[in-house]
Structures are given as structure tokens and as C-alpha cells.
Amino acid sequence: MKYLILISFIAFQGTEKMVDAENYLVQPEKPFTATQRRRIRRNRLRFAKTDCVDILCTINKIQNKTKNNPEQGHIAVIENNKQEYKVEDALRSVVIKDFDESILQKMSSNEIPPKSRDEIKAARQAKKAAKLKVNNKTTENPQLTKEIENLNENNINSKPKVESTDEVDKSVVINPNAVDISTSREQIKADRAAKKSAKQLKKKGAADGESNVQSSVKKELKEDDSVKQNEDMTVKDVVETLKNIVSVAKEVNEITTKVSALDLGGKKQEETGKSKAELRAERRAKQEAQRAAKQAAEQKVVKPKLEAPTVNVDVPKKEEKVIKSKTLEKSKTKLQLAQRFNWFQHLYTEFDKNPLKKIPINSNLHPAIVKLGVQLSSRVVKGSNARCIALLDALNKMVRDYVLPAKTEFSRGLESHLASSLEFLWTTREPCASQINAVKFFRHHLAQLPNNVDEFDAKKTLQEEIDRYIREQIEMAGEAISIAVRNKISNGDTILTYGCSSLIEQILCEAWEAGLQFRTLVVGSRVSPDAAEMLRRLCARGLPCTYVDFTAVNYVMKTVSKVVLGAGALLANGAVVSAAGTAGVALAARARNRPVLVACHTHKFIDSLYTDAFMHNQIGDPDDLLEKSDDNSPLKDWRSNLNLTPLNLTYDVTPPCLITAVVTELAILPCTSAPVVLRFKLSEYGV
Amino acid sequence: MKKEEVQAIFMKILREEEDVSAGVAAIKTLLTVIENYKVSTVRELDLNLQLAVDAMRHCDQPVTAISSGCELFMRFITFAKLDTKSFEECEKIMLQRGNIFLDKLLEARGKVAKQALSFICDGCKILTHSRSRVVLQAMIEAIKANKRFEVFITVSAPDNSGEVMHKQLVAAGVDATLILDSAVGYVMEQVDIVMIGAEGVTESGGIINKIGTYSLGIAALELKKPVYVLTESFKFSRIYPLNQMDLPKEFKYLSNTLKSGKDLSKQHPLVDYTPPSYITLLFTDLGILTPSAVSDELIKLYL
């Protein structure tokens, strides 16, 4: 693949000094001489096994050679070019006539003959000797030039396909100034060589052939000590371009894999946060693809029947994608629907990982809201407390900067603005219980504002209410809960917790700092990195902790004294909604009769009631279930398999019978007293 | 006001009135403290009462009922609007409310007994544990209502209070049988219902009662016998034990034992905790409650 790109790039980035090759093509054909035929045969064999690596080596060697040998003879250059042409001839014939053969040859036997290589080396030695002789004879210039012309004729005669020049003409800018025989002839010839090789590649699209051409060209260049000062410029240019080509080739390679992955559809969880470099490379690749496609479209390309994933094949594919995006999308959604788990059809939403696409151009969403949306969708902000505080903060800013349109009542206007903001936010990520309650609270206070309230006062009230909510319901409640749980921890205890919860972290750290001696076990799952984050935080505060994978939770349960869990929400029947895996931990604790404490702020209590994790849940990124470090993971290509659907659920529901107590800032309560708290909150706060 | 004086009053009440439980005695003591020890501010009164409660907890009496009863008492008397009156009036109001509280308490037992009456049917066999005045009253009421039933009563070591209960039941005309604590599992298949009292009711809906109650509860659950707890509402406490070890030490051991500095793990605890899952219903003066409703009632009382 890389080789093709290399060659194609050479074609695209032709140096300005490239001259039209067709001047040399309008000559009558002549048959090959014996030596020529021999050479052709030898080259055919040799080039059948060359590698791209050679190209890089040759680049270095060329550079070194050019550094070491600045002075070269004029004649030697011409000699070199002659050789180049000969080689090219051979290759062209190989490519055109015996392409399949050569490919098969290569594929069947990788050890094509070191013999031929030796032969070639010997030939080169001979040439070197000849050149040295030639250097002494300076009078032979006109002869050589004649020879060259002859050779050119030969070369041109042997060339079967003439129409390729049209394409080359179009792609290359003709620089008439370059037709200056005396000084720039070498340059011209070098350019010509490069152009011709590029043409070959374009025609054939054959990786090996082209790489062979390149390698052969470079080999000739490198082998010759006489490649020189006059050719320095062009060689260096070519070297540089080759280097660029290699690097871009790598990039394009990456992109093609990404693109091909995207191409096959699946859930619309596209990668967020593509780095700028990646985006640039993607764009570049697209451009190249389009250009290549254009070229390909203009001539009947003899595509290789073998080796499917070559870049040239991908290039027209990309173009097809660009053009036929509609049909692809159709097949994409078909694939998506087929790969959804039946019981969760109601949970799959068209989540776009890049929520910024959803904003219409003229929307007046506050930038803080937009920012929050991106943070939520990319999971930068996670955890119920963090999300609630972030939401309230964004609402605070929104209120602060809200401009009341004329003849509108403040509460009505803000309510509609709020509605549109929330609509956007909930598309980025479904709201959690704490966020729902926070919004309820905010709306309640918004509705409570008197009719003809002054805008400034209204804003001030709302902002104060928001601050109070955060302070009372989250911060102070957290402290109260921390103290309550601390009273339940005794010296020598082993506390088990699951996943990451900011409240649990606060409880454990504060208990530790208060002097209690206990050990912590953090249980985590391979899928989410939360538990590792929790472990990190606890260790940073000096707590003795151990990390256990979920599969070992039953094994360690006998050493545990208490289990303390965090909650995302508490339902009206006392069930706890929390990160997937919590129910399993609670069950394991129950089986060993260990008390299970759930620490939950009262602002997370919600009025709804469901008993299982099917009704309300969130489908996470299915690619998270893959083992990233395992390249041979059987799940790697799950998108291509219609019978396989990785399902990544975010939440689960722990039934109240598995929970010993819920610790809230009001009291330590049994799970079943959740409606009591809801009733109490209603009477106290009106919400 | 001195600790010893309070303790003297407390012990005197307990001695003189046989029928009175420790909790009721404690509340009576507090009322006496308010009446006799004159103070000039509410704050001082509050302090006095707290001191009194503390004194009573060190009296070698079961602490559970004392602490819960006193706390509820304090909340009740200070619940009135005391802002705008002079201190004497405040004191009068508090005393008034205190007496109301006490009267309510004394009536509570009767209410509970009446509620339990409908659950005692003819020919049923009841298993009970240790000495509970409420259960005794309930059974006496049942006898008065001409019900025929049998009672199994455990000896309830180490203080053998079950024997006292047995005597009282027989004197009341109940067909009572004294059994060993260890024979609970043996007898369980014969009984129809289990009726026990409680020294304290926790926020979880479980109960704190004489040691041996937990085993009784486990056996009853295993053999599918309903467990009814007869208790007054002033025994509701805000503690939430997670397991037996989590019970406060003051409840489990006498204050003398705690003071003496002996190794507590070698001492016999006086009480144990029965989790709510072993209890079917609680009969209280607030009504017949399920264990989960206890927390609801507590929140109403306290918040």
C-alpha cells in the first residue's frame, strides 16, 4: 500500500523541472539488442523481489552520496540516465506484458535470485569502470549525446502505450525554461525518469511493479558515484518528496483503516476529540483520493486482481463513499438496526458523539450550555454530583447573561430559553436523577417569581437559590453523610466499595483523617476506568487500599466487614440505581451477611419506580467492551458480523432487600423509607 | 442538683411502683426534677435534665428505654411555643406537657394490649420471652375476654426474669409453661404465634430486647411463625445498628461492668438486636405498624 502511495505522490508532486516526455516518444520503433534483452530479463527477475525498504535505504544512500561526492562528470550523468532509461524500459515491459507473472513469481517464491543480484552488481562495477574511463575522455560528449538520443528512441519504441502521456501532460506543468540542454539536461532527464515511473504506476496500480521501478531507479542513482552535483538538486528534491510521501503514506494508512471502520456502519459513536493533525491528515487523504479518483476515472485502469487492500483500490472506494454517501448511510442504518439488542430497542438513541453538529446556526444557546453539552457527551464530566453541579453552574451563567426580550415576562422568557437549552443538553447525554431534581428546583423557583419582578432582582434571586441549593443539598449534605457513616466505621474494619463515587471518596478520606484505622477494597470492572480513578484518589490521600476485579468479589467478601456504595438515584420503592455492577456487589455481600450501606444525598431521591434495569437505562459505547490492548480480540470486527452485538449498559438497579441501610443527611434510614423522605422534602422545600 | 439525688429518686420510683417500667420511671424522675429544682432560664433547665438523664443511665438499669424515653420527653416538652412568655410560664407549660406525655405513656400500654387482643384466638399457643409488662397486660386482657390459650415462657437467663413472668401469668389464670432458653427450637413447631416485648425499637424497624430474642426470631422465621412485638412508642430510638457488634456498649452491658474496665468481649451482653426481617408486626400505641413504617413514625416524631 505504502509503495503505491509513494509512487503516486511522486506523480503528483512532480518537480517543476519536469519536462514533457512526449518529445521522446515520437520516434519509430527498433528491436532490442541482445544485451538489452539480457538486461531486461535480469531486471525482471531482480525487480520482482525488491522491497519498499530499499527505497528508504536508497534515500539515505543518495543523501550520503550527494554529500560525499559533490563533483561529478557531465558525461557520467548522462550515462546514468541512459541506464535509468534502460531499466525503465525493462520494467515497463515487465509491467505491461508480464505483470501477473511477476506478481505470481513474487508471491510464490520470495527468494528470487541473489544470483541475478550479483550479476547486476558485477554489471554495475563494470559500468563504474567504464565511467572512469569516460571521465578521462572529455571529447566524447557529442557521441554520448547521440547515444542517448538513440537510446531514447529505443526506449520510446519499446513503449507500447502512448496514451498515458496525455494524463501526464495534464498533471504536469510544462516549464519551457527547463529545455536548456547545456546545463539542465541532466535535470530534465531525471525528471523525465521520475515522471515516467509515475506514469507507469498510474497506469498499472501495481504495488510491486511500482516499488520495483522506484527501487530500481533509486538503486541506479545510489549505486552510481557519479550521480552528482548537477543532479544534486533534483535528487535531493526527489529524496525529500519521497520522505514526505512515506510520512504521509503512513498517515493515510491510518486514515484508511479508520475510514474503513467507519464505512461499515455500526452505532453512531464516532470518535470525539480528533486531534488537529488527524483531521488535517484526513482532509489531505480525501483530497488525494479525489484527485486519484479523477485520474483513474479518465483512463481504463487495469486494476490488479490480487491483493485487495491496496491503497489504489481504497482510493476509488473513498471517492465512491464521498459521492454515494446516501446509499452508504442507508446500509449503515440497516446494519445499526440489525445490531441492536432486541430488549433494549427503546434505549438506543441516535447519539452523536459530536453534539456540536446538532446546534443550528442561529441558536442562541449560551456558550456555557454548549460547553457542558460537549463535556457531558465526551464523559469528561461524570458522576451524579459533578453533573448536577456543572448543570447548575451552567444555568447560573445562563441566568446571569440572559437578556430579556421586550414585552416578555421574565419567568416566561427564561423558561422558554431554559427549555431549549435543556433540550440540547439532554441530547448530549440523558439526564441523571440529580440533574432532573435540580432542574425541577430551578423551575419551581422560577415559577415562584412574582409577575412584574425587576429583571435584576429576579436574576439575583435565582442565582442565590442555585448557590444555596449547591451549598445545602450537595456540600453540607455530603458532610452530614460523611459524619454519619464515620460513626459506623470502627477500627480494624475492612470497607468494600464499588466503582467511583465522589461522596464515598469524601467519606473514606475524612474518616481516615479523623484517625480511624481501616482498610479499603475497591472493586472495579475491566470495562470502565472509574474504579482505577477511585483507587488513585484514595491512595493519594494515604489510605491503605486494594483493587479487586469484580470477578473476585465473592472471594474477598469474607474478609470484608462492611460494604459502602454510592448511588446515582434512589427510587420510590427503595431500589438503588447505580453503576452497572453495584447490584452484583450487594448480592455478594448479602450472601455473606455483610451490611450494605448506600450513601445518597436526598436530592437524588426520585419519584419514579422501576424494578429492573431494562426500563430506564443508558446504552454506552459498545467499543468499550473490547480489550483495547488485544489485537487478536475476537470482538474486534464485531460490526461486520450481523449476529454479534456488544451491549454496554451504564446503570443497574439494586433491589431494596439487598440493602441494609441508606445513609442520608436526614438520618440513616431503611431503604423502604424513601417515600418518607420524598414527602418530607416536599413539605420542607416545596419541590 | 446532684447526680446521687436524681438516682435516689429514680430508684425509689422503681422500688415503689412494681408495675412501672424503667422508661416510665425515668420520665417521672425528670418531671420531678423540673418541679423541684428551680432554675431561672430554659437553658439551665435543659442542662439539668440532661444531667439527670446521664445520672439515670449509670444506675445499673437497662439503658435502652431510659435514653429513648427521655429524649422523646425532652422533645415533646420543648415543642411548645415558649418564645414570648416569662420563664415561670414556660416552666409551667413544660410541666403541663410533661404530665400529658406521662399520661399518654401510661395509657399506651392499655392501647397496645387491646390491639393485641384480636390476634389471640381461642386455642392458640403463644411463645414469649423474658418479662414484659406489656405482654402480661395483653394476656390479662385476653383472659378477661374469656379467651382460651396456652403460653410458653422462657426462663431467660442470667437474671431468670422469665420465672417472675411465669408466676405472674399463673396468678392471672393463664395456662403457662416455663421452658428453657435452649428449648425454643424444640417448642417452636407447636406454637402458633410469638409475642414479645421490646426494650427499644430501632430506626431500621428492628428491636432491642433481652438476650435470646434474636435466636427466637430466627427459629420463628425458619418455621414460619409470625412474630408480634408489643411496645410503646416512647421506646422508638434513632439508632440504626448494622449488626450485633454495632449496638452501643451502654445498651449491652450494665454501667458497672463498663466502669470496672473488664474485657467486654468476655462479658455476657444483656440485650441483642433482632433485625426487621424477623419481625412481622409491631403493636404500638400509634397503631399496628410494619417494621418499615417505624422509620416513618420516627421521622414524624423527630423532624
Weakest mean pLDDT among A227-236, A493-502, B239-248: A227-236
- The interface pTM score, or ipTM, of the predicted complex is 0.85
Looking at the fold, whether A417 and A496 belong to one and the same domain comes out as: no
Burial A99-117 (b: 16+ CB within 10 A, else e): beebbebbeeeeebeeebe
CATH label of the domain that carries residue A499: 3.40.50.10470
Task: Return left, alpha or beta for B157; rule: phi > 0 is left, psi -120 to 50 is alpha, else beta.
Answer: beta
Provide the 3-class DSSP secondary structure of residue B236: strand
For residue B301, the model assigns a pLDDT of 79
Region B167-174: what's the mean pLDDT? 94
Closest C-alpha to B37, from B19, B50, B21, B20: B50
Q: Hey, what's the cell of A212?
A: 520495483
Q: What is the mean pLDDT of chain B?
A: 89
Q: Cα distance from A566 to chain B (closest Cα, Å)?
A: 17
Question: Could you tell me if residue A633 is inside a domain?
Answer: no
Could you read off the pLDDT of B247-263 as tens digits, one per residue? 998 899 888 888 888 88
Question: Could you tell me if residue A52 is inside a domain?
Answer: no
Q: Do A667 and B292 touch (CB under 8 A)?
A: no
Best residue of B239, B240, B264, B298 to probe chain A, by most A CBs closer than 10 Å? B240
Domain edges within chain B:
3-110, 113-302
Share of chain A above pLDDT 90, in %: 30
Number of domains in chain A: 2
Region A464-487: what's the mean pLDDT? 94
Q: May I ask the CATH class of domain B113-302?
A: alpha beta
Region A263-286: what's the mean pLDDT? 58
Q: Cα distance from B91 to chain A (closest Cα, Å)?
A: 30
Region A496-525: what's the mean pLDDT? 95
Best residue of B71, B279, B297, B299 to probe chain A, by most A CBs closer than 10 Å? B299
For residue A17, the model assigns a pLDDT of 43
On chain B, the residues whose CB falls within 8 A of the CB of A670 are 203-205, 276, 291-292, 295
Looking at the fold, whether A501 and A415 belong to one and the same domain comes out as: no
When pLDDT is cut at 50, 70 and 90, the band that residue A298 belongs to is low
Question: Do the beta carbons of residue B23 and residue B66 sit within 8 Å?
Answer: yes
For residue A474, the model assigns a pLDDT of 94
When pLDDT is cut at 50, 70 and 90, the band that residue A126 belongs to is confident
Q: Hey, what's the cell of A90?
A: 525493462
- Torsions phi, psi for B200 (to 5 deg): -160, 150
Region A387-398: what's the mean pLDDT? 95
Q: Cα distance from A639 to chain B (closest Cα, Å)?
A: 49
User: Closest partner residue to B292 among A562, A667, A670, by Cβ?
Assistant: A670
Question: Could you tell me if residue A217 is inside a domain?
Answer: no
Whether the bond between B158 and the residue before it is cis, its omega within 30 degrees of 0, is: yes
Share of chain A above pLDDT 70, in %: 60
B237 touches chain A (CB under 8 A): no
What lies within 8 Å, CB to CB, of B207 at 6+ separation is B196, B198, B199, B200, B201, B213, B229, B231, B273, B274, B279, B282
Among the ranges A424-438, A561-575, A607-621, A629-643, which has the highest mean pLDDT value?
Answer: A561-575
Question: Could you tell me if residue A15 is inside a domain?
Answer: no
For residue A453, the model assigns a pLDDT of 82
Region B174-202: what's the mean pLDDT? 95
Question: Could you tell me if residue A42 is inside a domain?
Answer: no
For residue B79, the model assigns a pLDDT of 73
Domain with A601, as residue range(s), is: 488-626+641-685
* CATH number among 1.10.760.10, 3.30.2350.10, 1.20.120.1070, 1.10.420.10, domain B3-110: 1.20.120.1070
On chain B, the residues whose CB falls within 8 A of the CB of A669 are 203, 240, 295
Among A471, A496, A519, the domain-final residue is A471
Alpha helices by DSSP H, listed for A14-140, are 34-47, 52-68, 74-97, 99-108, 114-136
On chain B, the residues whose CB falls within 8 A of the CB of A661 are 204, 240, 242
Weakest mean pLDDT among A321-335, A384-398, B9-23: A321-335
Share of chain B above pLDDT 70, in %: 97
Region A662-669: what's the mean pLDDT? 93
**Count of A–B CB contacts within 8 Å?**
45
Looking at the fold, whether A664 and A599 belong to one and the same domain comes out as: yes
When pLDDT is cut at 50, 70 and 90, the band that residue A150 belongs to is low
- Torsions phi, psi for A17 (to 5 deg): -80, 0
Q: Do A676 and B240 touch (CB under 8 A)?
A: no
Residue with the larger pLDDT of the pair A65 and A675: A675
Looking at the fold, whether A516 and A437 belong to one and the same domain comes out as: no
Cα(B164)–Cα(A587) distance, integer angstroms: 44
Residue B125 pairs with which residues in a beta bridge?
A: B150
Provide the 3-class DSSP secondary structure of residue B165: helix
For residue B9, the model assigns a pLDDT of 87
Question: Could you tell me if residue A386 is inside a domain?
Answer: yes
On chain A, the residues whose CB falls within 8 A of the CB of B238 are 667
**Res. A548: pLDDT tops 60:** yes
Weakest mean pLDDT among A249-263, A436-450, A649-663: A249-263
Could you read off the pLDDT of A175-224 as tens digits, one per residue? 545 444 455 677 777 778 778 877 877 776 544 544 444 444 444 444 44
For residue A619, the model assigns a pLDDT of 86
Q: Hey, what's the cell of A81?
A: 540516465
Weakest mean pLDDT among A548-552, A610-614, B109-113: A610-614
Q: Hey, what's the cell of A30?
A: 527498433
For residue A454, the model assigns a pLDDT of 86
Weakest mean pLDDT among A160-164, A352-356, A585-589, B251-255: A160-164
Looking at the fold, whether A511 and A600 belong to one and the same domain comes out as: yes
CATH label of the domain that carries residue A388: 1.20.120.420
